[in-house]
Amino acid sequence: MIRVVGADGGIRHGHDDIGRGPTTIGGDRAVAGNPLSFSSMAHQSSMTVKSILMNIVCVLIIAPIVAGLIVWGAWTMADINSPPGLAPDIPLPSATTTSSIIRPAPHIPVSGRTVYMANCAKCHGVTGDGNGTEQLDRPARSFLAGGFSFGNTNQAIRRVVQHGIAGTPMPGFVGVLNRPSIDAVVAYVRKLSPPTIDADTSAATYYVDDRPVVIRGALPARGEWEDPQPRGILIGGTDGLTVAYDSDDVRLRTVRQGAFVRRTDWEGRGGTELEPLGQLIHFPGAAPPFTKNGRPIKASLRGTAITGTTAAIRYTLPGVEIEETAAAATHGTLPGYRRTLWLTGNATGIELAVPLSSTPEPLGRGGQYDWWIGGQDIVGIRGGQPGAASVHLPTDGTIDILVLPGADPAAARQAGVPLLEEAS
Ligand code: HEC
């Protein structure tokens, strides 16, 4: 694993200015191997006929009984778990105030296995092999096979368990399990997987630890129709979300979840592209993000700022200053992300396009949000005046844009999104 220790220009911890290119980066490497050892089986050759017979008896009679007991035990535990009832758009409970499904007695430490059996086994399988009883549109991860695509550190796995994986059936447990239960189940699934080493030492891979990271550089094209963006900004949050913007007009390019970014040019002058590593969860479409009287208006970048664990990007539109943050968010347990825009000044008459990759179809209001659907994604916006495919910004104040990528319609309906029942 490579950890970036000192950075200048390319990585920002704190305020930064506009237009500074990436420069050199110092790093150190620590790769730990953990070779498996195979114990010798040679002593088997000295087995007597009697001991072989004893073994057969054990295998044929005792083993099935033990296996039956294990399966029965796991089955009854998995049954306790029905997903928590979702109330439509109530303020989401936070992990610290919500009791978990398994409420531990004060002095009994939480058992990761118990939390796992109650909340995860139905999809990931009792043994962690990925074969649960739940019917899913894709396989849940096999923990026995290792290879966590979102990273296998405690922190990476915890992010996935807290926030879910947008666009997949993997739910976010932040409102369901308390922190000790999440930590316990993370340790449990981590132990199920074989030890791995990070073989990729050819390029500089950046990780986000306990502070967000802002990195500037060229971003790859998102499709054949596009040229690479020479001046991009990537903001990596401590929740595993990576938000990419164009520097020129502060347009949101993509939102990813998972690992942060690799740079192959770290000895060069910053001309080659950054390689964002997370899984693409949202692509906001090509419509200009802001318009006034039907005409696009261009934002100009002020800079980025990190306060505690929050990174913000600041920009101006004619008459108004905007500070924007993005974070992983769940609606009920549906995984997604939320952008919040704080406006100061006068935003009267400015419209924000609903960030969907195909024409947004309005769904109406549910809870405090106005909702749209487009392609596979659902967007809820609160704080603005809804139009057909855009909202009028409030004069000042805040506006929240909640994106639920690839949300399953039935689950979204259950979470309070006003979707019509499908005619069958
Ligand atoms: C409703 C089914 C479901 C439940 C319940 C569920 N998962 Fe998942 N989980 C999935 C699916 C599906 C994926 C694979 C998503 C993908 O395609 O990337 C996944 C992926 C993951 C990953 C990502 C591994 C990686 O690639 O990095 C982790 C970690 C994980 N689950 C942990 C848990 C834990 C811990 C629980 C219980 C607290 C849990 N899951 C409950 C369906 C589920």
- Among the candidates 75, 103, 137, a domain finishes at 75
The answer to whether residue 183 is domain-embedded is yes
At CA 30, angle to CA 27 and CA 32, rounded to 5?
A: 160
157 lines ligand 1 (CB under 6 A): yes
175 and 254, same structural domain? no
Task: Please compute the mean of the pLDDT values over residues 45-57 and round it to a whole number.
Answer: 52
Among protein residues, the one with the nearest Cα to ligand 1's atom 29 is 157
16 and 132, same structural domain? no
The answer to whether residue 306 is domain-embedded is yes
State which residues form the domain around 404: 205-414
CA of 254 to the centre of ligand 1 (A): 23
The answer to whether residue 98 is domain-embedded is no
CA of 403 to the centre of ligand 1 (A): 20
What pLDDT sits at residue 134? 84
List Cβ neighbours of 219 (8 Å cut-off, separation of 6 or more). Answer: 228, 229, 232, 234, 244, 253, 273, 274, 276
CA of 189 to the centre of ligand 1 (A): 10
Q: Kindly give the number of the ligand 1 atom that is closest to the alpha carbon of 150.
A: 27
Dihedral, CA of residue 228, residue 234, residue 239 and residue 241, to nearest 10:
-20
List Cβ neighbours of 423 (8 Å cut-off, separation of 6 or more). Answer: none
CA of 170 to the centre of ligand 1 (A): 5
Task: Give every strand in the sheet of 261-263, ordered side by side.
Answer: 204-206, 261-263, 274-276
264 and 300, same structural domain? yes
Could you give the angle at which helices 112-119 and 179-192 cross, rounded to 10 degrees? Answer: 90
**In this predicted model, what pLDDT tens digit does every residue of 194-212 receive, in sequence order?**
665 444 444 577 888 888 8
Q: Both tokens of residue 65?
A: 């009984």
The answer to whether residue 175 is domain-embedded is yes
**In this predicted model, what pLDDT tens digit does every residue of 107-120 receive, in sequence order?**
567 899 999 999 99
Q: How far apart are CA 216 and CA 246, in angstroms?
A: 10
38 and 10, same structural domain? no
261 and 343, same structural domain? yes
- Among the candidates 169, 192, 215, a domain finishes at 192
CA of 239 to the centre of ligand 1 (A): 16
Lowest mean pLDDT across 108-112, 230-234, 326-330, 411-415: 108-112
The answer to whether residue 251 is domain-embedded is yes
Grouping H, G, I as helix, E, B as strand and the rest as coil, residue 311 is strand
CATH number at residue 173: 1.10.760.10
Beta strands 320-331 and 279-282, pairing class: unpaired
Among 80, 123, 186, the mutation site with the greatest number of ligand 1 atoms within 8 A of its Cβ is 123
The answer to whether residue 423 is domain-embedded is no
CA of 375 to the centre of ligand 1 (A): 24
Q: How far apart are CA 270 and CA 68, in angstroms?
A: 60
Grouping H, G, I as helix, E, B as strand and the rest as coil, residue 318 is coil
110 lines ligand 1 (CB under 6 A): no
Q: Which H helix or E strand runs over 189?
A: helix 179-192
Please determine, for residue 137, whether its predicted confidence score (pLDDT) is greater than 50. yes
**In this predicted model, what pLDDT tens digit does every residue of 264-320 receive, in sequence order?**
654 444 456 788 899 999 999 888 999 999 999 999 998 888 888 899 999 999 999
Among 120, 157, 170, the mutation site with the greatest number of ligand 1 atoms within 8 A of its Cβ is 170
58 and 18, same structural domain? no
Among 124, 182, 196, 280, the mutation site with the greatest number of ligand 1 atoms within 8 A of its Cβ is 124
CA of 424 to the centre of ligand 1 (A): 30
The answer to whether residue 256 is domain-embedded is yes
Would the pTM count as exceeding 0.85? no
The answer to whether residue 264 is domain-embedded is yes
281 lines ligand 1 (CB under 6 A): no
CA of 156 to the centre of ligand 1 (A): 12
**In this predicted model, what pLDDT tens digit does every residue of 332-372 receive, in sequence order?**
889 999 999 999 999 999 999 999 999 999 999 998 899 99
Q: Residue 300: CA atoms inside 13 Å, Cβ hemisphere, count?
A: 5
Distances in Å between the Cα of 424 and the Cα atoms of 374, 398, 420, 421 are 21, 40, 12, 9
171 and 135, same structural domain? yes
Q: Kindly give the number of the ligand 1 atom that is closest to the alpha carbon of 168.
A: 15
What pLDDT sits at residue 107? 59
Within 10 angstroms of residue 115's Cβ, the number of other Cβ atoms is 28
Among protein residues, the one with the nearest Cα to ligand 1's atom 6 is 120
Counting the structural domains of the chain, the total is 4
Lowest mean pLDDT across 69-83, 148-162, 185-199: 69-83
170 and 187, same structural domain? yes
CA of 332 to the centre of ligand 1 (A): 16
CA of 190 to the centre of ligand 1 (A): 13
Please determine, for residue 218, whether its predicted confidence score (pLDDT) is greater than 80. yes
What pLDDT sits at residue 6? 32
Task: Please compute the mean of the pLDDT values over residues 10-20 and round it to a whole number.
Answer: 35
Among protein residues, the one with the nearest Cα to ligand 1's atom 25 is 148
- The string of DSSP letters for 113-166 reads HHHHHHHTHHHH-TTSSS--SS--SSPPPPSTT---TT-SSHHHHHHHHHH--T
Among protein residues, the one with the nearest Cα to ligand 1's atom 40 is 120
Q: Is residue 351 within 8 Å of residue 319, measured between CB atoms?
A: no
Name the residue among 115, 245, 139, 357 with its Cα closest to residue 149.
139
Lowest mean pLDDT across 3-17, 66-80, 232-246: 3-17
Q: How confident is the model at residue 60 (pLDDT cuts 50, 70, 90)?
A: low
Among 101, 131, 141, 142, the mutation site with the greatest number of ligand 1 atoms within 8 A of its Cβ is 141
391 and 317, same structural domain? yes
168 lines ligand 1 (CB under 6 A): yes
Taking phi over 0 as left and psi of -120 to 50 as alpha, with beta for the rest, 224 belongs to alpha
Within 10 angstroms of residue 67's Cβ, the number of other Cβ atoms is 10
Grouping H, G, I as helix, E, B as strand and the rest as coil, residue 73 is helix
34 burial via Cβ count (<10 Å: 0-12, 13-18, 19+): exposed
303 and 182, same structural domain? no
Name the residue among 400, 408, 250, 246 with its Cα closest to residue 315.
250
Q: How confident is the model at residue 99 (pLDDT cuts 50, 70, 90)?
A: very low
59 and 116, same structural domain? no
Grouping H, G, I as helix, E, B as strand and the rest as coil, residue 16 is strand
* CB environment 272-291: b (16+ within 10 A), e (fewer): ebbebbbbbbbbbbebebbb
CA of 322 to the centre of ligand 1 (A): 36
Q: How confident is the model at residue 324 (pLDDT cuts 50, 70, 90)?
A: very high
150 and 212, same structural domain? no
Please determine, for residue 76, whether its predicted confidence score (pLDDT) is greater than 80. no
Among protein residues, the one with the nearest Cα to ligand 1's atom 36 is 120
**Partner residues linked to 303 by β-bridges:** 314
CA of 244 to the centre of ligand 1 (A): 25
Name the residue among 65, 168, 71, 183 with its Cα closest to residue 123.
168
140 lines ligand 1 (CB under 6 A): yes
